[in-house]
Amino acid sequence: MTAQANNQTKRRALISVSDKAGVVDFARALVERGWEVLSTGGTLSALTGAGVAATAVSDITGFPEILDGRVKTLHPSIHGGILARRDAGHLAELEAHGIGTIDLVCVNLYPFRETVARGAAFAEAIENIDIGGPAMIRAAAKNHAGVLILVDPADYELALQDDVTEADRRRLAAKAYRHTSEYDAAITAYLDGTSDAIPTRLPQTLSLELSRVAEVRYGENPHQPGAIYRWGAARGPVLDARVVAGKPMSFNNYADADAAYALCSELAAQETEAGDPRLVCVAVKHGNPCGVAVADSVQAAWEQARDADTLSVFGGVVAVSGTVDLAAAQAMRGTFLEVLIAPDVTPEAVEWFAAKKPDLRVLIAASAAAVSVLDLRPIAGGFAVQERDARPWADLCPEVVTARQPTDTEWADLRFAWGVVKHARSNAVVLARGGVTVGLGAGAVSRIWAAERAVANAGERSAGAVLASEAFFPFDDVVRLAAGAGVLSILQPGGAKRDPEVIAAANELGLSMVFTGSRHFRH
């Protein structure tokens, strides 16, 4: 490190951190190497309490901390010592004013994002906006040629080296500016009526603070680099899942597991709301559900979801809403799967998967109290942004528009099918019976093609099933196809110009039809 050019005999480090991981050992190591440590507030107490010699910043400035600690380091004796170039002119000016240089600044900021994330009141959030910290970080990063700036405990070992390279100093400065810019973005989002972790509306300026949390071998295809990022301080059930068996996750694994667990969680909540908390299994392939079932056990739900489409489930991703025990694990023996995600997996099941299906990635989902409600789609030069489609069944006012009313059993299946179809790519049609999907048609460019695919997929299982469509019927062709296959009841948003013709066809063929008044396009 650069030696002092004035009369100051010791190099000085200013340490004031919110994240105190490793800071005592780091400060002790600096003192042992002949450094003088300056500190403030809780950090000073932690250091001196651990027997590390440290000088209060107020002893340097000759001015006490004021305004409940809001003003501590905003003083020429601090910022002059950080910002001075290590040349004769600046050093002489410091000496004329009795100011010593500060050669290392170790600062990370008040826990603003963490405070907001735990639902703190506005006044507490405001008090956790750091002012002096960002000022010192930015000053040290600007003058990184002469001052080491540390915002991450992972860099403490580097700072203890005898000679830190220019390249490392520049890298640390870049990390410091990233640290403050992300912090400012979080505050901006909060004051703009959103949270950087959980945006709740569409602000004039949307800041995307993304930090890489996982590396993957490639993206969707081997020629595409890929990585997984966290948005702000948000948590996700898949993003923060614990992998307890199997290979590392791939890019597509993350995407499909997130889609599967989102539908699984929604259906599980729907079952609980209906007073019938059965367990849910969702199989997803290429972003679309291919087999979904509710049953009294994880094993039964898996077996029914698998049997809904044994071809498509091959190589799929499966999410379940309950604990996977050994019996459920063994029931998956004959099916190749990429990922299994569940709230919990018993040790016996983990051991069995590791021995019998070593390539299967087994994940225990992380708890996530809230998920971002914004849905971002990249377009050339920017993003199309919308609020996520999170409208629950309880928010609908279903209207029976035919002479025939759905039976209680049909109502349960219509509700279930509606939950599934909103998670399938448009155009989408779902056939369900007895809490199991028996036919799915998704991603079709024509609604009748989606319906034909669903009916063909179901085969004889169409008889007695219900049908859900995520958008209205422009013609009565789907109704006639469904009736011919033995479907008993149809759920759709309604709102087409030919609704009267569609309703008349349903009455003619003896079907019940329900309008939800809410469509669920998913492109």
Give the residue numbers marked as catalytic. 142, 286
Taking a C-beta distance cutoff of 8 angstroms, is the pair 237, 366 a contact?
Answer: yes
- Rounded Cα distance between 508 and 146, Å, is 85
- CA nearest neighbour of 172 among 148, 137, 136: 148
- CA nearest neighbour of 44 among 59, 61, 66: 59
- CA nearest neighbour of 324 among 307, 308, 302: 302
Pairing mode of beta strands 148-150, 104-107: parallel
- 513 CB-near residues (< 8 Å, 6+ apart): 400, 401, 402, 479, 489, 490, 491, 492, 502, 503, 506
Pairing mode of beta strands 382-387, 489-492: unpaired
Q: Which residue has the tokens 């377009």?
A: 379
- 34 CB-near residues (< 8 Å, 6+ apart): 10, 11
- What is the SS3 assignment for 35? coil
- Rounded Cα distance between 140 and 148, Å, is 7
Taking a C-beta distance cutoff of 8 angstroms, is the pair 288, 224 a contact?
Answer: no
Token pair belonging to 252: 């597509």
Token pair belonging to 197: 């972790």
Going from the C-alpha of 307 to that of each of 262, 291, 301, 339, 353, the distances in angstroms are 21, 8, 10, 18, 21
The 3-state secondary structure of 201-253 reads CCCCCCCCCEEEEEECCCCCCCCCCCEEEEECCCCCCCCCCEEEECCCCCHHH
Beta strands in 259-408 (DSSP E): 279-285, 288-295, 316-320, 337-342, 361-364, 374-379, 382-387, 399-400
